[in-house]
Amino acid sequence: MTNFELFEYCKKNPEGFLDRNYMFVDKHKDLSLYISKTKNIKNKLIAIKEIIIKPNSNKVIDQLFNDLQNELNKYTNFSEFISFVNACDSRLEEVRNDIGLLKKTTLLYIKYRDLNDIVPSEWVQALIDKSTSRKKGQAGEIKLISILKKEGHHLVDNLTDFNKSKNCVTRFKNSGDFSNKSIKDTFEVKIGKKSQNKKLDLIIKKNQEIYFLEAKHLNTGGGGQNKQIKELIDVVNLKSDKYHFVAFLDGIHSNNILSADKDSSPKIKSQYKDILKCLRRNKNNYWINTAGFEKLFKYPLRPHPGGN
């Protein structure tokens, strides 16, 4: 199957909603600790608010600020106070390490925010849920590795095992056998030359053929997303007669790219044309979604919720 045929196959088998690989629906295992810490912080803030207006309270206030500072650890990430710290263009680490900054931020919090001792668990969980985008960074890699492992690929972490295996997968690393420098020396390919040494995600070996893959998950378009699409286009524009370069894009925005037509935005139409140009110039390279990944690596196809 040519790269254009596989591209058309992906069009006919688009991504569906609610991909479990990118969903984090369970309550956080440490929710009770986050709630407890949030209550402690609120109590300290309430005490500071009540005492700060009293005369000759400097010594007590200083102790309360020290107590508040001591409360600030990893379980304070999802308190309203730390959300306010972020709104003040600062971070947990900075107010934890700088008592002067903590005092100034606390006084601003008391002035501009309402204070009470209520800490509903669903509020804390909602703040945790809002942060799940951070977990999605490697979710695409984990998803693809899981598919490969089920079909007999071994996950390896050194070049010796990679060379011995007929079918395997490994991650790019910052150092060691699979850093950009080592890959340049071992495979004689240049990756990250124009992008501050940016790494790809996976190297897959199938029947002695080698695939360098970049994985992204996008559900919406826009400025930051356009940058990521450009990074994927740069991947399929890499040239090699020996290896395959693969751009993997899942998520609902993948469907927007694949189904570009006259009604699409100018940016999407431009991206679509660029992808086709790169595929035409580089017959060994691929632009794929989940169905395309399974097809490329010849696994039994499973139904896709958004497919035809």
Query: Residue 196 has what pLDDT?
Result: 47
Q: To which residue do tokens 């609610």 refer?
A: 18
Tokens 């596989």 locate to: 6
Q: Answer whether residue 146 shows pLDDT above 80.
A: yes
Q: What is the DSSP letter of 76?
A: G
pLDDT beyond 80 at 56: yes
The b-or-e profile of 142-164 (16+ CB within 10 A means b, else e) is ebbbebbeeeebbebeeeeebee
- pLDDT given for residue 134 in this prediction: 65
Q: Which residues contact 302 (CB under 8 A, 6 or more apart)?
A: 294
What's the pLDDT score for residue 192?
63
Q: Any idea where the domains of the chain sit in the sequence?
A: 31-133, 138-296
Q: What does the DSSP assignment read for 157-194?
A: -SHHHHHH-SEEEEE--SSSTTSHHHHHHHH----STT
Number of Cβ within a 10 Å radius of residue 31: 16
pLDDT in tens, 242-298: 999 999 999 999 999 999 998 899 999 999 999 999 999 999 999 999 999 999 987
pTM as predicted: 0.79
